[in-house]
Amino acid sequence: MIVLRDVSKIYNTRLGPKTVLDRVNLTIRPGQKLGVLGCNGAGKSTLIRMMSGAEQPSSGKIHRGMSISWPLAFTGGFQGSLTGADNLRFICRVYGADYARALPFVESFSELGHYFREPFKTYSSGMRARLAFAVSMAVDFDCFLIDEIIAVGDARFTQKCHDELLVKRGDRSIILVSHQPSTIRSLCDTAVLLVGGRLLSFDSMDGAFEFYDRLMTGGASPL
Amino acid sequence: MQTRLHPTPAAEGLGSEFSGSLLRSALIQLRVIHALVLREVITRYGRHNIGFAWLFLEPMLFTCGIATLWTMAKMTHGSSLPIVAFALTGYSSILLWRNCSNRCVKAIEPNLCLMFHRNVTALDVLLGRVVLEVIGASVSLTVLSLVFISLGWMAPPSNILIALQGWVMLAWFALSLSLLIGALSERSELVDRVWHIFTYLLFPLSGAAFLVEWLPSAAQKALLWLPMFHGVEMLRSGFFGGLIHPHYDAGYFAVANLSLMFLGLAATRQIRQHVQPE
């Protein structure tokens, strides 16, 4: 279980304090696949970083009852000047995973070819996504935090993610944030909406998508 | 305090063998620092030519250069002290805390991407850098001592335990200072700008180039407020034994280090709230 209780995050900006998350409450059960929908700047990435523990909330409590991945995003988690292989080695050491065992899987899943031994900063966003995803699968967590990265992949990558996450690791939890309902629809069983720092729950996925559609076309008031 | 969770179920089982999460947290912290040190070695020295041997060679070359200069300048001021050993002990101790603290200035920012991993904290990043510098300076001192002793340029330390105590306490001082400077430099640009000037100005005030005994007693009293004097004097007392009359107070040095470390840890903890991983 992961439980967020009244989690708020306030950033100090030049124009004064800005509330990015406002008393968010959320519970994630083992095996649950949760999609967090929100438009750009809604606080999705901030929410996922709070969950991972990479950042501390300004107030509120987060209980982590299972092992959680770092936020799989385009930036962060990898050192630009290190090669893909060296980054894998570092991450294996940090999480106490076996590098020799992880290496073949990551090398074949990420399909980086000789780029696997080139610096991470030379990678395209698709390559970064594949590497981040493969490394997190190799380390193996109870809960994977995914920040948009699946959305950039081609159909083949999406299919592979689907196989790894839903078929081989059906008992694990996923928290996927995206502004694209289609990505969430293909991988998640529940959806919540993040609007103006507040989290809105819905009884059904369709309810969430409908509300989101209306929000995007300007038809619904945020709260 | 928040427990650091082990990620894999297998490892989770392993962890439960140990009573108390403090020990498990300590093990994870050691693992993280180990990973950071090895990563630092690759990013700093690469895998080209002699690679990470530079970690020792650089301080060794520095120390040799200073030893040569001081020999030519007759820096022992007419005393009968062996100049090579005088330069080696003095310059090594200054290298220790200067390199550590300089490496920790603005050390957090280039590592922000790694702090996406919950278990990698600002404290770990700073500790990793200090560990590497302490290893470099210690190997440099040891190897150069052995070389100079075997060449007959200096005598073996008269009391190796006192020398070791001095060195370890200097490393403790270096660590505490580095945590404080490293954390403060993240909060204010000013620290970054001023610290390098400050270390240069501290050079003549570090006790590397003279013995406290040589000073008038008023100056002795004033300078012995600076903690690093006690370390150098202790180290030299271990090397020279009865040849010199050392001025140090291990108790004062320990209290000073403890206070500095407390401030350093508090400042490092503070930046945790401000860290925004990229």
A98 vs chain B: nearest CA distance in angstroms? 11
Q: So what's the pLDDT on residue B1? A: 39
CA distance A195 to B148: 70
Nearest CA in chain A to B122: A54
Identify all chain A residues contacting B16, using CB atoms and an 8 Å cutoff. none
Q: So what's the pLDDT on residue B164? A: 96
Q: Which of A77, A81, A97 sits opposite B8 (nearest CB)?
A: A97
Q: Does B39 touch chain A (CB under 8 A)?
A: yes
Q: Does B42 touch chain A (CB under 8 A)?
A: yes
Which of these, A105, A97, A103, A165, lies nearest to B10 by C-alpha position? A97
Q: So what's the pLDDT on residue B16? A: 40
ipTM: 0.86
pLDDT digit string (tens) for A81-93?
899 999 999 999 9
Amino acid at B251: G
Given an 8 Å threshold on Cβ–Cβ distance, is B8 in contact with A86?
Answer: no
CA distance A8 to B88: 55
pLDDT digit string (tens) for B66-125?
888 888 887 666 677 888 898 999 999 999 999 999 999 999 988 888 999 999 999 999
Helix (H, G, I), strand (E, B) or coil at B244: coil
> Do the beta carbons of residue A213 and residue A206 sit within 8 Å?
no
Total beta-carbon pairs less than 8 A apart between chain A and chain B: 90
Q: How far is residue B257 from each of residues A30, B137, B139, B174, B178, measured CA to CA in Å?
A: 47, 19, 23, 9, 12
- The rounded average pLDDT for each run of 10 residues, N- to C-terminus, in chain A (223 residues) is 92 87 92 89 88 90 92 87 94 94 93 93 91 91 88 80 86 90 86 88 84 77 53
Q: How far is residue B157 from each of residues A28, B60, B68, B69, B71, measured CA to CA in Å?
A: 63, 19, 20, 23, 20
Mutation target to probe the A interface, by most A beta carbons within 10 A, among B24, B39, B111, B273 is: B39
Nearest CA in chain B to A64: B5
A202 vs chain B: nearest CA distance in angstroms? 30
B43 vs chain A: nearest CA distance in angstroms? 7
> Do the beta carbons of residue A139 and residue A91 sit within 8 Å?
yes
Q: Which of A66, A71, A142 sits opposite B116 (nearest CB)?
A: A71
Q: Which of B113, B114, B277 sits opposite A55 (nearest CB)?
A: B277
Residues linked to residue A193 through DSSP beta bridges, in sequence order: A37, A200
Residues 120-159 of A with CB under 8 A from B: 139-142
Q: pTM value?
A: 0.87
Which of these, B230, B163, B75, lies nearest to B220 by C-alpha position? B230
Mean pLDDT of B30-52: 87
